[in-house]
Structure 1
Amino acid sequence: MTKKIIAFGASSSTNSINKQLATYAASQFENTDVEVLDLNDYEMPIFSLDKESKNGIPELAKDFFNKIGTADLVIVSLAEHNGAYSTAFKNIFDWTSRVNPKFFQEKQTLILATSPGPRGGLTVLEIAKNRFPFQGANVKGSFSLPSFNDNFNANEGITNEKLKGDLLEIIQSIEL
């Protein structure tokens, strides 16, 4: 039976380097059905208890939760904005956690991050590695790709052989 991967870049950028990395990582798994989500399809009002009390939980939060529920593996590549999650992802995170605090639903999860800089989103990656298990993520690995523009090519994927090998080693350790 073919396993399903849900992958997304945790950014609303139309040219998201994190979406590119998540898509690339998902493509490295064999015999899988990959669905790449675009966070722009899940744009909701800024989360607040007042809005939830007045209007309820948005259907888009429920839709996002249900998408995660279809996956055998979730691959998320986190954009780092001022050392933390992007606002677009944080808002989806907040709303979806109102559907169910364990919104990752114990799904196997691969957490990635990249940035144009040499740290490759390490700060947000550490935040996610510590936080996601509380939201029901069964974290199977994490990977940071530093200096995206120097180490990634749209046609080839990761061009630095050591970094490519590091990611492939993590991927091969995940049993689907």
Structure 2
Amino acid sequence: MSIQVLALVGSLRNASVNRQLADAAAAAAPEGTEVTIYEGLAEVPFYNEDLDVEGSVPAAAEALREAAKAADAVLLVTPEYNGTTPAVLNNAIDWLSRPYGAGAIKDLPAAVVSASPSPYGAQWANGDARKALGVAGAKVLEDASVAVGGRFELFAETHPKDHAETAAELAGVLSALAGAVEPVAV
């Protein structure tokens, strides 16, 4: 049985560096670990408790929750918009944190990868994402975090999965996530 990691990407552009990093993370996953990049974040409505009623939760939000429930761990890949995480990731965390104390990511190991063209690699967004995941109940791996900065020009010519340093950093994050998954009792 393989370990299932759900990757949520904060940039909705198909060609974004953050999407490329998620693809590279999937390629760098250790044997026995599968990374699935969630494709439906753009369809998830903004969280509204009036919509979050058992039996009538919007289909896109329910699909996100089901994907998280099927996962053994969560990986957030975030750019930095206006000094923090993009709304689409905050919204996903809001839906996944409910019902409070029993949300879909409660007790799931979680890690964050961030990227920006600046040398700082979206460190503010990285920290905010880790904080939000922790409040939502995930087990955030503080030592399994990567902030990729200053490499965007390089990634215009080389996919992150083909850049040795980036691939090694992502492999380390995925190995840590896989190592944090509790074995299922048989």
Q: Give the structure-2-normalised TM-score.
A: 0.76
Cα distance in 2 for partners of 1:72, 1:108 equals 7
Corresponding letter in the other structure for 1:112: V
Structure 1 residue 23, shift from structure 2 partner: 2.2
Q: Which residue of 1 aligns with 2:126?
A: 125
Count of residue pairs brought into register by the alignment: 173
Cα distance in 2 for partners of 1:173, 1:59 equals 32
Identity %: 24
Q: Which residue of 2 aligns with 1:75?
A: 75
Unaligned ranges ≥5, structure 1: none
Unaligned ranges ≥5, structure 2: 182-186
Corresponding letter in the other structure for 1:74: V
Cα distance in 2 for partners of 1:21, 1:123 equals 18
Corresponding letter in the other structure for 1:125: N
Q: Is the 8 A contact 2:25 2:167 kept in 1?
A: no
User: In the alignment, is residue 84 of structure 1 matched against residue 88 of structure 2?
Assistant: no
Q: Which residue of 1 aligns with 2:107?
A: 106
Q: Which residue of 2 aligns with 1:21?
A: 21
Identify the match of residue 163 of structure 2 among 153, 159, 170: 159
Q: Which residue of 1 aligns with 2:150?
A: 147
* Alignment deviations for residues 51-102 of structure 1 (CA, whole Å, 9 cap, x no partner): 558x953222121111011112221101211012212222233333335553
* Alignment deviations for residues 112-169 of structure 1 (CA, whole Å, 9 cap, x no partner): 10112221110010112222112121122211110241454554526263x5544444
Cα distance in 2 for partners of 1:80, 1:39 equals 20
- Distance change >3 Å, CA 125–CA 137, structure 1 → 2: same
SS in 2 for 1:157: helix
RMSD, aligned CA? 2.8
